[in-house]
């Protein structure tokens, strides 16, 4: 028997209802949306997904919900679509490489100036840091909603309010919080980015982003190509969603998103959050009883998602992961978790940590079994 504690990387199984719907789809015909009459059904799948995702994230117009291969592609598209030469960009000291690498590439290429906002070692951030870092040419603030290493939830609403006071645009990376923490895009963020395969419970290789009303005009399409519309022109269409969805879309991934997000909506994000908070609270309380363990993020379950990184004194992180798997069948992820910035913030670079993350399939019994296994190391 295995215990899966790596939901921050991916949710390992689709729900029975979602996989049932996908099986049915796979038995039928598959056509391109917007390329022929029969493809109308494919367009309807996308619209269904846009409606569900739009409702989940508080996006007023479903046509402003766009699909891509995931959070990484989306972050590249929105960052590159919004910045212009000479812009100054801010991002936090706990960003995933999906944000950090495209930003640093733009900095190294001489396109932007870039500053990392310093977070506290537990991953938290003082919103005042944003005000102090804003300059005349600051264009963009990019923030992860919760660190994928420490689990700490960032004060995004306060930070974005400050950014907007200065006319700075805001991008929120919801890869770790989609389907887990409630958030209304129209109230706070100009752009949100989501991954399909984590808290949203959809297939890997899908995800996307949503943009505020005024952003669609300000953002350049960073990827362009055929859309089946305005084909006489070499320019991308002005209208949504075609402007940001060139090429053939990942219809089965989009269908999985529609079905899984509808499930999340009927379960209620608040209820999901409450359940995950309970798991995190019990896990952190249990970890505090084990002397050789140091919890790297916040100890307050109200201030984190179900992602907990630890160091085990006397052990290398990779060794702990291996022992947990070989002796107890527990699947974790050790190392730097694609976020060297977060580990530098936490003081765990370059050794890394062992990360435990819980999700829809996690049970209380599994949490107890993991605690026992750690205690027996
Ligand atoms: C905070 C954060 N941002 C972005 C990503 C990248 O997501 P995707 O796999 O959809 O490209 C991840 C995935 O680990 C993440 O945790």
What is the percentage of the chain residues whose pLDDT exceeds 70? 97
Q: Residue 29's pLDDT is what?
A: 73
Cα(98) to centroid of ligand 1, in Å?
Answer: 6
- Ligand 1 atom showing the smallest separation from residue 73 Cα: 11
Q: Which of 358, 273, 271 is nearest to 307 (CA)?
A: 358
- Which residues have C-beta within 8 Å of that of residue 93, sequence separation ≥ 6? 116, 117, 118, 119, 125, 341, 342, 344, 345
- Which residues have C-beta within 8 Å of that of residue 228, sequence separation ≥ 6? 32, 33, 34, 35, 242
pLDDT at residue 252 is higher than 90: yes
Q: Whose CA is nearest to atom 12 of ligand 1?
A: 175
Mean pLDDT, rounded, for 4-20: 97
Cα(32) to centroid of ligand 1, in Å?
Answer: 27
Strand partners, 144: 173
Cα(257) to centroid of ligand 1, in Å?
Answer: 16
Report the distance separating Cα 177 and Cα 17, nearest Å. 22
Cα(8) to centroid of ligand 1, in Å?
Answer: 9
- Ligand 1 atom showing the smallest separation from residue 194 Cα: 10
Q: Residue 217's pLDDT is what?
A: 86
**CA end-to-end distance (rounded Å), the chain:** 19
Q: Which of 339, 285, 336 is nearest to 146 (CA)?
A: 339
Q: Is the CB of 72 under 6 A from ligand 1?
A: yes
Q: Residue 141's pLDDT is what?
A: 98
Q: Which of 300, 273, 276 is nearest to 150 (CA)?
A: 300
Q: pLDDT digits over 329-344, tens only?
A: 999 999 999 999 999 9
Q: Whose CA is nearest to atom 7 of ligand 1?
A: 71
Q: The tokens of 187 are what?
A: 């109230």
Report the distance separating Cα 103 and Cα 114, nearest Å. 7
Q: Residue 32's pLDDT is what?
A: 64
- Which residues have C-beta within 8 Å of that of residue 360, sequence separation ≥ 6? 7, 11, 15, 201, 272
């Amino acid at each position: 028997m295995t215990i899966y504690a790596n939901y921050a990387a991916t949710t390992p199984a689709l729900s029975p209802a979602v996989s049932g719907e996908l099986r049915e789809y796979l038995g039928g015909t598959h056509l391109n949306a917007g390329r022929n009459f029969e493809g109308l059904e494919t367009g309807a799948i996308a619209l269904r997904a846009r409606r569900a995702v739009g409702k989940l994230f508080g996006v007023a117009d479903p046509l402003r919900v766009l699909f891509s291969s995931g959070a990484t592609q989306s972050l590249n598209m929105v960052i590159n679509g919004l910045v212009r030469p000479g812009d100054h960009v801010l991002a936090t000291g706990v960003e995933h490489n999906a944000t950090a690498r495209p930003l640093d590439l733009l900095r190294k290429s001489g396109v932007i100036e870039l500053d990392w906002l310093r977070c506290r070692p537990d991953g938290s951030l003082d919103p005042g840091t944003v005000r102090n870092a804003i300059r005349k040419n600051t264009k963009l603030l990019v923030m992860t909603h919760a660190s994928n290493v420490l689990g700490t939830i960032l004060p995004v609403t306060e930070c974005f309010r400050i950014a907007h006071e200065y006319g700075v645009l805001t991008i929120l990376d919801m890869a770790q919080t989609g389907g887990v923490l409630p958030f209304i895009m129209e109230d706070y963020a100009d752009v949100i980015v989501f991954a399909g395969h984590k808290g949203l419970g959809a297939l890997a290789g899908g995800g996307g982003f949503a943009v505020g009303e005024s952003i669609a005009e300000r953002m350049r399409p960073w990827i362009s190509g055929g859309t089946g519309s305005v084909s006489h022109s070499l320019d991308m269409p002005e209208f949504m969603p075609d402007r940001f969805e060139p090429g053939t879309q990942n219809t089965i991934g989009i269908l999985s998103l529609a079905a899984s997000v509808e499930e999340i909506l009927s379960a209620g994000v608040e209820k999901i959050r409450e359940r995950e908070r309970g798991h995190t609270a019990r896990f952190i309380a249990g970890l505090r009883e084990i002397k050789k363990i140091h919890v790297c993020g916040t100890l307050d379950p109200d201030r984190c998602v179900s992602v907990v990184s630890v160091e085990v004194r006397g052990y290398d992180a990779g060794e702990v992961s291996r022992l947990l798997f070989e002796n107890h069948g527990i699947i974790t992820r050790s190392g730097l978790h694609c976020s060297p910035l977060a580990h530098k913030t936490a003081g765990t670079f370059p050794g890394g940590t062992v990360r435990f993350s819980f999700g829809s399939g996690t049970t209380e019994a599994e949490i107890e079994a993991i605690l026992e296994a750690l205690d027996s190391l």
